[in-house]
Chain A
């Protein structure tokens, strides 16, 4: 009977494609929006997950998330070091600094994409005419002032630095040179706009980017870029600048309290959670394991921003629209074949075999919709891997699968109850 079910399904190509399209749309919307949501949420905690080596974060007890820096007195570092079970503890500066630099770029129109072009069109602002092909482009001087995320690492241990594999050009040791900083590759897009360094190959960066001394100015002090690293993008997408703790203090206005976090490591035989509780008890500071702090940060964004509601709404819409399209088309498909199902029942096909046929049909369109939808979603993620978009998929695959199964079950249930209730005598009605 199963081959009959499959032939019935694909026999009406328009309906078959309609059902598959509905499910594909639902799967794509769920996986695409879900992946962007997860990607964004992970970005909020990127600076926690990027820091390896330390397993404890100590902070002001009122800190709610990673960017909610409430500076502490530096003496707290020594208090943490004095807690039993702490193997070592180092300072970490984290804050926003204002970077200034002068650069040159070929004169061209402002960067645009499809959304800004539409906006320009509505606002009546046409994009400036580009220089005609073949003409020598003129060079313009550009003064950049950009907010950067400044990370000051412990001067001696450099705990909190990106691992060597993620330092693309230069090395961590270069941070010991005077005024040195390491910048994340994506941040070059904002510091050197329109020059394409963020997507340049490592060889090109080594050969051409460092052909000249790359200087920034922060808090009226000189900073020299000595390396480029890969950092997970942050939620705000500001450039990330690594330097030493002592130098970081010079790149921001002087304050009495300047210590952002203390990074600590629990002794080998100690549980990080227990040591964190001990630090809290002994110092009155907030202490979290890296994982606790990551979830605390994500939870903050989930609770205090409208992001989850927006994404959840879109995902729900995808689910509802997908269910409606697939359910309606599938039901129509069943209704149009109701006489055929009636004939099969009259000829002796049992309800069980008819239900199996409907379920097989639902399963086939479900698998196809899921496969094409997730495939398109993955393609979308892959094509935007070097772009602005945050995209994290893995556990959304089973979630989308469950959603599609749910849609198919809902769609087929309506059809099944119609077919089961069907009186085979219908076939004798002309």
Chain B
């Protein structure tokens, strides 16, 4: 009888894939509920997902399917009721609030749907905020933010207030802010929702070109199917679950979590 070959080892968490990308975020059995008793709403049901470096992972699905909740838990600003979230080997889900806050400040960049720029600060000052939170002094932080803004084509707008910028420009400032402290994970919540189609495409191109790096993972929540083609991997969600994962580059041999 021919010997049955040994089964190939299953994916070891955080081990590099063939193209060198690694699991940046590992989500297992994630549950999140809101409310209690009869009012309880299940937002996330046993979600399993891996997000890789050097890729843009889109989390898509209809409104209310739990994608923003998933992003909030991944980013460490909502506590899960069950399950594990590991980011680059650190188990965020079990961290205490202060640890999470420090972790976010060091490792995560945010792009919000409504930009959330401080209206009284200039573009450069807004982009400098994560550096200031990290302990940088004002002048070097603003200087660094100006460089990043210039690299995003906003060199002439560094001293403009948000009210003087268009929606697309404001989102660019938000991206500069998210990248200024060189985070390992960038989470973007509906970055194109408040923008027209053309501007939305430009912003997504910018994210793909500037944010995606070999040692950084980018997770984007969106329901805008016109930008799905920007995603290297697309996690489809419905009713609090990940129901399908499309992996454009590694569409063979992947396990149920999308890892190879």
Q: Which residues of A contact B (CB under 8 A)?
A: 1, 3-4, 7-8, 10-12, 337, 339-340, 342-350, 353, 423-425, 427-430
Nearest B residue to A8, CB-CB: B120
Q: Are A425 and B78 in contact (CB under 8 A)?
A: yes
**In the assembled complex, which residues on chain B have CB atoms less than 8 Å from the CB atom of A348?**
101-106, 108, 130, 133-134
Q: Give me 15 A-to-B residue pairs in the complex whose CB atoms sit less than 8 angstroms apart, sorted by A's number.
A: A1-B133, A339-B116, A340-B116, A340-B118, A342-B116, A344-B129, A346-B110, A348-B108, A349-B101, A350-B98, A428-B71, A430-B113, A430-B114, A430-B190, A430-B194
Query: In whole angstroms, how far apart are the Cα atoms of A347 and B127 in the complex?
Result: 12
Q: Report the 3 A-B pairs with minimum CB-CB distance, sorted nearest first.
A: A11-B120, A348-B105, A343-B116
Query: In whole angstroms, how far apart are the Cα atoms of A343 and B72 in the complex?
Result: 12
Do A347 and B129 form a contact, CB below 8 Å, given A12-B120, A428-B68? Answer: yes
Q: Which residues of B contact A (CB under 8 A)?
A: 68, 71-72, 75, 77-78, 98, 101-106, 108, 110, 112-114, 116, 118-121, 125, 129-130, 132-134, 138, 177, 189-190, 193-194
**In the assembled complex, which residues on chain B have CB atoms less than 8 Å from the CB atom of A346?**
75, 77, 104, 110
Name which of B106, B119, B130 has the most chain A CB atoms within 10 A of its CB: B119
Partner of B114, one of A337, A339, A424: A339
Given A340-B119, A346-B75, A427-B112, output 15 extra A-B contacts at Cβ < 8 Å.
Answer: A4-B125, A7-B118, A7-B121, A339-B114, A342-B116, A343-B112, A344-B129, A346-B77, A347-B129, A347-B177, A348-B133, A428-B68, A428-B71, A428-B112, A428-B189
**In the assembled complex, which residues on chain B have CB atoms less than 8 Å from the CB atom of A430?**
113-114, 190, 193-194
**In the assembled complex, which residues on chain A have CB atoms less than 8 Å from the CB atom of B68?**
428-429
A167 to chain B, nearest CB (A): 61
B134 to chain A, nearest CB (A): 8
Partner of B133, one of A11, A344, A423, A425: A344
B112 to chain A, nearest CB (A): 5
Name which of A10, A345, A427 has the most chain B CB atoms within 10 A of its CB: A427
**In the assembled complex, which residues on chain B have CB atoms less than 8 Å from the CB atom of A349?**
101, 105, 133
**In the assembled complex, which residues on chain A have CB atoms less than 8 Å from the CB atom of B193?**
430
A298 to chain B, nearest CB (A): 50
Q: Are A10 and B77 in contact (CB under 8 A)?
A: no
Do A428 and B129 form a contact, CB below 8 Å, given A4-B121, A348-B102? Answer: no
**In the assembled complex, which residues on chain B have CB atoms less than 8 Å from the CB atom of A428?**
68, 71-72, 77, 112-113, 189
Nearest B residue to A339, CB-CB: B116
Nearest A residue to B104, CB-CB: A348
B41 to chain A, nearest CB (A): 15
A335 to chain B, nearest CB (A): 14
**In the assembled complex, which residues on chain B have CB atoms less than 8 Å from the CB atom of A340?**
116, 118-119
Query: In whole angstroms, how far apart are the Cα atoms of A346 and B190 in the complex?
Result: 16
A10 to chain B, nearest CB (A): 7
Q: Are A425 and B120 in contact (CB under 8 A)?
A: no
Query: In whole angstroms, how far apart are the Cα atoms of A365 and B96 in the complex?
Result: 35
Q: Are A4 and B98 in contact (CB under 8 A)?
A: no
**In the assembled complex, which residues on chain A have CB atoms less than 8 Å from the CB atom of B116?**
339-340, 342-343, 427
Nearest A residue to B109, CB-CB: A347
Partner of B138, one of A3, A350, A424: A3
